[in-house]
């Protein structure tokens, strides 16, 4: 059975670096968790896939966040990913109506609108690296391409695709990145351009059952390459009851007691995975007592 994973490769002439990922199951997981409508699924799925690609390029132990802040109806998309292929994310407005463009396709650009793409890379030790670029199309793949070229000064091409089924589930999702390394020759560049022109739709290739290796064979056709790294991909959240309880205390004791009085319990949902955590009166007393101890 095909499953989600991500690979990174380099051509043996050391002129090109490439990443390919199948993310169908991870995007499906996100669709179910957030109950996204098709255009929101497509936008969030592209962002999750793009996040996995950015996360694959960072050093081990690092984590990235990808933040798309647009003025369209989706509002904001936030994705966290790491080098291990773990990803999570959400969109502010998961259930917007169908938006289709003139070609009858889901119009992600219109749903995202104009705004900014910001990438943060957190090493966990120093100040995080942050790079931000204006959204040039809202289609996300073009915006990431622009980010790599402009903010990281690495000429790149990014393809991201999500195919939504009639029952709202995700039929196929995946993506690729290819980057020119400093020694890339003119011949390499023009060959790569030909290859890129051949790849019409990354989601169609995933739907056909192509593996990430087979996608790289198309992308890097005419070049020898070696796969340097491979990681399983999964939608995985970091939330747990203790973290959410800590979040509850940040509301302040008065606020928590008000909610408890009104609703008989405190319910907090994790933004990233939409899981609900409930705390009854006894739990709340424990949490408050513990937070006083800690201070
Ligand atoms: Zn969560």
Give residue 269 CA to ligand 1 midpoint distance, Å.
8
Gap between the Cα atoms of 191 and 122, Å rounded: 35
Please report the pLDDT score of residue 278 as a whole number.
93
Give residue 48 CA to ligand 1 midpoint distance, Å.
15
Give residue 89 CA to ligand 1 midpoint distance, Å.
9
Give residue 275 CA to ligand 1 midpoint distance, Å.
6
Task: pLDDT tens for the chain, 295 residues: list them.
Answer: 579 999 999 999 999 999 999 999 999 999 999 999 999 999 999 999 999 999 999 987 889 999 999 999 999 999 999 999 999 999 999 998 877 777 778 899 999 999 999 999 987 777 888 999 999 999 999 999 999 999 999 999 999 999 999 999 999 999 999 999 999 999 999 999 999 999 989 999 999 999 999 999 999 999 999 999 999 999 999 999 988 988 888 888 898 889 989 999 999 999 999 999 999 989 988 888 888 887 6
Give residue 90 CA to ligand 1 midpoint distance, Å.
10
Give residue 45 CA to ligand 1 midpoint distance, Å.
17
Beta bridge partners of 225: 11
CATH architecture type of domain 5-235:
3-Layer(bab) Sandwich (3.55)
Give residue 121 CA to ligand 1 midpoint distance, Å.
20
Gap between the Cα atoms of 74 and 30, Å rounded: 15
Give residue 262 CA to ligand 1 midpoint distance, Å.
25
Give residue 124 CA to ligand 1 midpoint distance, Å.
20
Give residue 267 CA to ligand 1 midpoint distance, Å.
14
Give residue 210 CA to ligand 1 midpoint distance, Å.
31
User: Taking the CB of residue 39, how many other CB atoms lie within 10 A of it?
Assistant: 26
> Is residue 81 classed exposed, middle or buried when 0-12, 13-18 and 19+ CB atoms within 10 A define those classes?
buried
- The bridge status of strand 225-232 relative to strand 76-82 is unpaired
Give residue 97 CA to ligand 1 midpoint distance, Å.
25
Give residue 240 CA to ligand 1 midpoint distance, Å.
7
Give residue 245 CA to ligand 1 midpoint distance, Å.
13
Query: How is the chain split into domains, by residue range?
Result: 5-235, 241-294
46-57: b (≥16 Cβ within 10 Å) or e: bbbbbbbbbbbb
Give residue 65 CA to ligand 1 midpoint distance, Å.
15
Q: What is the DSSP letter of 32?
A: H
Gap between the Cα atoms of 54 and 80, Å rounded: 10
> In this predicted model, what pLDDT tens digit does every residue of 19-71 receive, in sequence order?
999 999 999 999 999 999 999 999 999 999 999 999 999 987 889 999 999 99
Q: Which H or E run includes 211?
A: none
- CA-to-CA dists, residue 69 to 98, 132, 152, 279, angstroms: 20, 11, 20, 32
Give residue 278 CA to ligand 1 midpoint distance, Å.
13
Provide CATH code, domain 241-294: 3.90.1280.10
Give residue 246 CA to ligand 1 midpoint distance, Å.
14
DSSP 126-188: SPPEEEEEE-SSSSSHHHHHHHHHHTS---EEEEEEEEE-TTSSEEEEEEEEEEE-TT--HHH
Q: Do residues 256 and 249 touch, judged by C-beta distance below 8 A?
A: yes
List of residues 6+ apart from 182 with CB closer than 8 A: none
Question: 3-state DSSP call for residue 209?
Answer: coil
């Amino acid at each position: 059975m095909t499953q989600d994973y991500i690979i990174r490769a380099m051509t043996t002439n050391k002129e090109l670096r490439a990443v390919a990922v199948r993310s169908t199951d991870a995007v499906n997981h996100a669709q179910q968790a957030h109950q996204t409508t098709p255009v929101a699924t497509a936008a969030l799925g592209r962002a999750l896939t793009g996040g996995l690609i950015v996360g694959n390029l960072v050093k081990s132990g690092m984590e990235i966040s990808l933040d798309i802040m647009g003025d369209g109806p989706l509002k904001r998309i936030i994705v966290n990913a790491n080098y291990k292929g773990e990803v999570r994310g959400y969109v502010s407005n998961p259930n917007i109506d169908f938006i289709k463009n003139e070609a009858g396709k889901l119009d992600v650009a219109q749903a995202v609108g104009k705004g900014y793409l910001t990438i943060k890379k957190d090493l966990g030790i120093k100040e995080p690296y942050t790079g931000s670029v204006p959204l040039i199309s809202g289609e996300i793949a073009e915006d990431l391409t622009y980010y790599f070229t402009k903010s990281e000064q690495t000429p790149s091409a990014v393809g991201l695709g999500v195919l939504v089924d009639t029952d709202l589930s995700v039929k196929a999702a995946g993506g690729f990145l290819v980057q020119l390394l400093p020694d890339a020759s003119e011949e390499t560049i023009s060959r790569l351009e030909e290859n890129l022109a051949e790849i019409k739709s990354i989601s169609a290739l995933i739907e056909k059952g192509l593996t990430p290796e087979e996608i790289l064979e198309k992308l890097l056709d005419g070049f020898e390459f070696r796969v340097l790294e491979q990681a399983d991909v999964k939608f995985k959240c970091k939330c747990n009851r203790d973290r959410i309880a800590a979040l509850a205390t940040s509301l302040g004791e008065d606020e928590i007691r008000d909610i408890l009085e009104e609703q008989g319990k405190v319910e907090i949902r994790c933004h990233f995975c939409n899981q609900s955590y409930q705390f009854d009166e006894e739990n709340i007393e424990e949490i408050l007592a513990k937070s006083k101890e800690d201070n």
